[in-house]
Every structure is written in structure tokens, then in C-alpha cells.
Structure 1
Amino acid sequence: MTTDVAARLDALESRLRRLEDEREILQLITAYGPLVDAGRADEVAALWTEDGVYDIDEVFLGDQEAIHAMVLSRGHQRWIAGGCSHFLGPAHVTVDGDEAVAVCESLMVTHGDDGFVVRRATANHWQLRRTPAGWRVTVRTSRVLDGRAESPALLAAGALGERP
């Protein structure tokens, strides 16, 4: 094989690996909404590394066990029983070797006596790592989009492939 063909093959393999990584990360992120709305605590927690963090405005979940407990909590189970959807928009993913950053916006839609309402719109910044089991979340930071400066800063950082 000539050097030119070998170089082209290496470049092609590298591009394919990046696309496969991006797709796996997108699959992981988009699984969150359906799994959390179905109350699948084991599967939701497994999206994170064991020491993975989910930092939400009013709640800090410091590991898989805490994330698992949140899904099974009385409050979250009430959302499920009443009807809710955690809808995550398309994510922008930046892969850098075995680390990645992603960003997306999400809506939490709930059902009540007056029909469906958007309960919150949120900026989501994801930090991920390739593990032997595949890509997993190391840190997810979520801030409500209510005019505070922190929320759009998270969006910009993620879109630029940066950590906040």
C-alpha cells in the first residue's frame, strides 16, 4: 500500500471514529428524556459515570446513586403520574479524543387541569468521557433560561466545545 493510500485510509478511519463517537453521544443524550419520563432509574443513572454529577439549579446530584434516587423520588414520580415530558432539543457535540462536550436546550412539559404547559426551559451543558462501557456523562450542568447570565454562558461554552 502506498503512503498516500495509507494516509487517506487513516484519515477516513479517524473521520468515521469521530462520527461514531458523535452518534453514540447523541444517542446517550436523547435517551435521557424518554428514560426519566418512564421512571427507569437504573437506566438513567447508567448514563453517568459512577461519580458523575448532575448539577441542576436547585439540586446537586453527586453520583449515580443520587441520580437513581432522584428518578425514584416522590416528587419525580408525581410528575410522571401527572404526565410530563423532558424534551431535549438537538445537541451540538464536540469530541476531543476520549473527552467530549455537548450542549442542548430542553423543555419540561407537564400536564395539568388546563392541559399541557411548559414548566421550564433549560440550558444543558454536558461533559462526557469514553469508558470501557462506551460514552458516559461526567458532569451535566443545567440552568433554567430565565434571564440570568449563567444560562446563555453555558450554551455558548458548549457550542464552542468549552467547559464552563
Structure 2
Amino acid sequence: MSIEERLQRLEDVVAITQLVASYGPLVDAGEAERVADLWTEQGVYDVDELYMGSRAEVDAMVRSDAHQGLIGNGCSHFLGPAHVAVDGDRAVAVCESVLLVRRGDRVFPARIGANHFDLVRTPDGWRTTRRTTRGLDGSADARDLLSRTGRL
């Protein structure tokens, strides 16, 4: 692999790592348009109890009363460091996440999850084509997402 190819791969890994890391602060700030922009136009966000099949549906989720209630009370969507694998214009990232919510003066973990991102390079940079999140509840589905670490 040439030095240029190695540099491109490193730049891609950093860009994807930044994309994944930006989700928590943006969603907790209620930045619906910026959160939605992390996906392609028809990008999918598939969470256990919620399926969003487009950028517009991700935007609507952030603007929803349920989400606004979370951030209005204080919460933190924290995604751990992502393991990123790149192959040309396609990539995957795998990480774990924690949703912390405030109830009164206390903060509680409301959800822990396994996350798998499928990404594509676009003219505007890397975007998510599909993010699948499953609760880390001992299920095979969640373990399967984590086992995809390093595999495209």
C-alpha cells in the first residue's frame, strides 16, 4: 500500500470516527437537521423499538416530543470509541453506547447498546446508509452486531 493510500485510509478512519462521535452531542443538543445529515437521504436507523427509513424520519425523531422530553430533562447519548474498517468508498463502524437520563438529582443508565454503522463516501463526505442498534440485554442480535467488528 502506497503512502498516499495509507494517508487516505487514515483520513477516512478519522472522518468516520468523528461522524460517529458527533451523534451524541448533536442529538443531545436537539440539532435535528445536523443529526439527520449524518445519514444519506434514504439512510436507515434501526433501533430495537424504532425504525427510521430516511433522513427525514431521523430528523422527525429528534424533533419528537419523546426526544425533546429526554433532552429537556437532561440526558447523554454516549457512543464509545468506534472500530472502523474501510474498503474504498464503503466502511463499517462498530461501537457500544450508553444512554444516561436524569431523574431529579440522579442520573441513571436507561439503555446500553451495540451499534453497527454501514457508511458510504459521498460528495459531501462520509454518511451512514444504515445504523443498527440493539440493546445489550444478552440477546444474540446484540452480540452479532458486536462480532462484526473489523468486517465489511
Using the size of structure 1 for normalisation, the TM-score is 0.91
- 2:15 maps to 1:19: no
**Letter matched to residue 111 of structure 1:** R
Shift of 1:160: 2.9
Question: Could you list the per-position Cα deviations for residues 38-82 of structure 1 after superposition, in whole angstroms to 9, with x for gaps in the alignment?
Answer: 000000000000000000000100000000000000000000000
- 2:61 maps to 1:70: yes
**Runs (4+) of structure 1 moved beyond 3 Å?**
none
Q: Secondary structure at the match of 2:2?
A: helix
Shift of 1:113: 2.3
How many residues are treated as equivalent by the alignment?
152
**Where in structure 1 are there 5+ consecutive unaligned residues?**
1-9
Q: Which structure has the bigger radius of gyration?
A: 1
Whole-Å Cα distance in 1 between the matches of residues 39 and 63 of structure 2? Answer: 16
Q: Secondary structure at the match of 1:109?
A: strand
Q: Secondary structure at the match of 1:160?
A: coil
Does the 8 A contact of 1:129 with 1:138 survive in 2? Answer: yes
Does the 8 A contact of 1:93 with 1:161 survive in 2? Answer: no
Q: CA RMSD in A?
A: 0.9
Shift of 1:151: 0.1
Shift of 1:114: 5.1
Whole-Å Cα distance in 2 between the matches of residues 161 and 22 of structure 1? Answer: 14
Matched with 1:160 is 150
Whole-Å Cα distance in 1 between the matches of residues 75 and 109 of structure 2? Answer: 10
- 2:87 maps to 1:83: no
Does the 8 A contact of 1:89 with 1:104 survive in 2? Answer: yes
**Where in structure 2 are there 5+ consecutive unaligned residues?**
none
Question: Could you list the per-position Cα deviations for residues 81-115 of structure 1 after superposition, in whole angstroms to 9, with x for gaps in the alignment?
Answer: 00000001000000000000000000000000250
**Letter matched to residue 20 of structure 2:** I
- 2:94 maps to 1:97: no
- Taking every aligned residue pair, what percent have the same amino acid on both sides? 55
